[in-house]
């Protein structure tokens, strides 16, 4: 069954990979993106990868007129909502920007959808909603714990969507709680492309391997983990994209909403990531142990079985493939591709 899917933030890291997965699954895709955190070169690269023209609207998800025009121009069957600010540290500095984009943007989108009679939504959420979880691996039943404004916006978004579905059963929402997205598309034509010094570990390590940064700062090695460094559940962005297709097709075929973790169920420490990236890049990665980063938790690992039960989703790519695909992507970019 082919449908027309609107991807808000569809030129971004996860959005662009989801565009490719949806197109491969036979769906028509429309991208709405303001390119505040995406390169303008992405749509052309998507056309190169898919061999199909890409429909892009350059607009802010808070622009009600732009959204109304999208729904008037295209018959949208469902929406995948990526367009949001997503940096924990930044959200502490500019919380009102995060509330504006992530909450007002969501409300504006939902109103436009409702007016158009489009009530199928995949919502990009995050393991950050768990705050400091009591248990790892962490199940979807773990309580919400807002640790920062970014996490608060994801909790609030999920709660709003819960009430919306309760108010009108025509709404069906797939809430996907991402753990740590990593890696890049196998073509090395798209990937994570941070504008300045990355906050996240994987893109930072990638820059050190290229010689663009001097060393990796390991934020603490005194956590209660096997080697003392932070443990995270890294999930390949191509696996993550496939999870979105399965969530969307579940909504379209059954009208049943769901809330699932998207992770591998396997954690890796910072030192294990550095070792894996050294293998993938064949580069020595200087690193130094520094103080803990405020707000960090020792372990974030998904209980991944609900996504398997509800969506038939299982990850296929491991840490070595994440590192190899990331190395290929950043090397390609460094060569000016
Ligand atoms: C991973 C591990 C750090 C950088 C964040 C967001 C989360 C989600 C994914 C949106 C931790 C350590 C990191 C570095 C290090 N984004 N680290 N040196 O914090 O788990 O999650 O990105 O949904 O919401 O919070 O990812 O990559 O920043 O950190 O030692 O230079 O690497 O302490 O243990 P995090 P991360």
CB atoms inside a 10 Å sphere around CB 111: 13
- Ligand 1 and 154: CB distance under 6 A: no
Of residues 154, 146, 148, 46, the one with CA closest to residue 105: 154
Non-local CB neighbours of 239 within 8 Å, separated by 6+ positions: 262, 264, 315, 316, 317
Q: Give Cα 162 distance to the centre of its chain.
A: 20
Minimal-distance CA residue to ligand 1 atom 11 = 230
Spatial separation of the C-alpha atoms in residues 189 and 187, rounded to whole Å = 5
Spatial separation of the C-alpha atoms in residues 114 and 187, rounded to whole Å = 37
**Residues in the chain where the model's pLDDT stays below 70:** 1, 337
Of residues 157, 175, 181, 178, the one with CA closest to residue 13: 181
Pocket probe for ligand 1: among 89, 127, 219, the residue whose CB has the most ligand atoms within 8 Å is 219
Query: Tokens at residue 55, please?
Result: 């429909």
Asked whether the beta carbons of 106 and 155 are under 8 A apart, the reply is no
Spatial separation of the C-alpha atoms in residues 265 and 231, rounded to whole Å = 12
| CATH of the domain spanning 4-181+235-263+303-310 | 3.40.50.720
Domain map (residue ranges) of the chain:
4-181+235-263+303-310
Asked whether the beta carbons of 98 and 149 are under 8 A apart, the reply is yes
For the CA of 199, the closest atom of ligand 1 is: 28
Bridge partners of 216, per DSSP, are 287
Spatial separation of the C-alpha atoms in residues 101 and 84, rounded to whole Å = 6
Spatial separation of the C-alpha atoms in residues 5 and 19, rounded to whole Å = 9
Please measure the distance between the N-terminal and C-terminal CA atoms of the chain and give it in whole angstroms: 36
Supply the pTM of this predicted model.
0.97
Structure-token match 């190899």, residue found: 324
Minimal-distance CA residue to ligand 1 atom 25 = 88
Per residue in 200-236, pLDDT (tens digit) is 999 999 999 999 999 999 999 999 999 999 999 999 9
- Ligand 1 and 230: CB distance under 6 A: yes
Q: Alpha helix (H) ranges present in 103-177?
A: 105-116, 149-167
Where in the sequence numbering do the catalytic residues fall? Answer: 150
Bridge partners of 173, per DSSP, are 121
- Ligand 1 and 232: CB distance under 6 A: yes
Phi, psi of 180 (to 5 degrees): -110, 100
Q: Collapsing DSSP states into helix, strand and coil, what is residue 125? A: strand
For the CA of 154, the closest atom of ligand 1 is: 23
Query: Tokens at residue 172, please?
Result: 């069906």
Half-sphere exposure (Cβ direction) of 324: Cα atoms closer than 13 Å: 8
What letters, b where the CB count within 10 A reaches 16 and e where it falls short, cover 115-135? Answer: ebebbbbbbbbbbbbbbebee
Where is 202: in which H helix or E strand?
helix 201-209
What letters, b where the CB count within 10 A reaches 16 and e where it falls short, cover 255-283? Answer: eebbbbbbbbbbbbbbbbbbebbbebbee
DSSP assignment, residue 184? B
For the CA of 128, the closest atom of ligand 1 is: 24
Spatial separation of the C-alpha atoms in residues 256 and 275, rounded to whole Å = 42
For strands 234-236 and 180-182, give the pairing.
parallel
pLDDT of residue 1: 67
Task: Please state at what angle helix 270-281 crosses helix 201-209, rounded to 10 degrees.
Answer: 40
- Ligand 1 and 128: CB distance under 6 A: yes
Pocket probe for ligand 1: among 144, 262, 293, the residue whose CB has the most ligand atoms within 8 Å is 293
The sign of the dihedral angle between the CA atoms of 230, 236, 241, 242 is negative
Of residues 119, 15, 115, 124, the one with CA closest to residue 65: 115
């Amino acid at each position: 069954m082919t449908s027309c899917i609107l991807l808000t933030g569809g030129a971004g890291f996860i959005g662009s990979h989801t565009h490719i997965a949806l197109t491969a699954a036979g769906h028509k895709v429309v991208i709405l993106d303001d390119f505040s955190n995406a390169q303008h070169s992405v749509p052309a690269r998507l056309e190169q990868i898919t061999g199909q023209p890409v429909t892009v609207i350059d607009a802010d998800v808070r622009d009600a007129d732009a959204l109304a025009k999208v729904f008037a121009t295209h018959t949208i069957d469902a929406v995948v909502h990526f367009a949001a600010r997503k940096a924990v540290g930044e959200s502490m500095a500019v919380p009102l920007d995060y509330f504006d984009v992530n909450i007002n943007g969501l409300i504006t989108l939902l109103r436009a959808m409702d007016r158009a009679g489009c009530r199928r939504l995949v919502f990009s959420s995050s393991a950050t909603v768990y705050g400091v979880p009591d248990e790892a691996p962490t199940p979807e039943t773990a309580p919400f714990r807002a640790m920062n404004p970014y996490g608060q916006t994801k909790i609030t978004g999920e709660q709003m969507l819960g009430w919306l579905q309760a108010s009108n059963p025509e709404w069906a929402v797939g809430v996907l709680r991402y753990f740590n997205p990593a890696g890049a598309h196998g073509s090395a034509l798209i990937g994570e492309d941070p504008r300045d010094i990355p906050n996240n570990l994987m893109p930072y390590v990638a820059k050190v391997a290229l010689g663009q940064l001097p060393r990796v700062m390991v934020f603490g090695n005194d956590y209660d983990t096997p080697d003392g460094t932070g443990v995270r559940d890294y999930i390949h962005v191509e696996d993550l994209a496939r999870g979105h297709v399965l969530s969307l097709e579940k909504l379209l075929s059954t009208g049943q909403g769901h809330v699932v973790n998207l992770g591998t169920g396997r954690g890796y420490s910072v030192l294990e990531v550095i070792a894996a990236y050294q293998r993938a890049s064949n580069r020595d990665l200087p690193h130094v142990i520094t103080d803990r980063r405020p707000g960090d938790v020792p372990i974030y690992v998904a209980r991944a079985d609900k996504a398997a039960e509800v969506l038939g989703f299982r990850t296929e790519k491991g840490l070595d493939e994440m590192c190899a695909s990331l190395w290929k992507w950043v090397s390609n970019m460094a060569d000016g591709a």
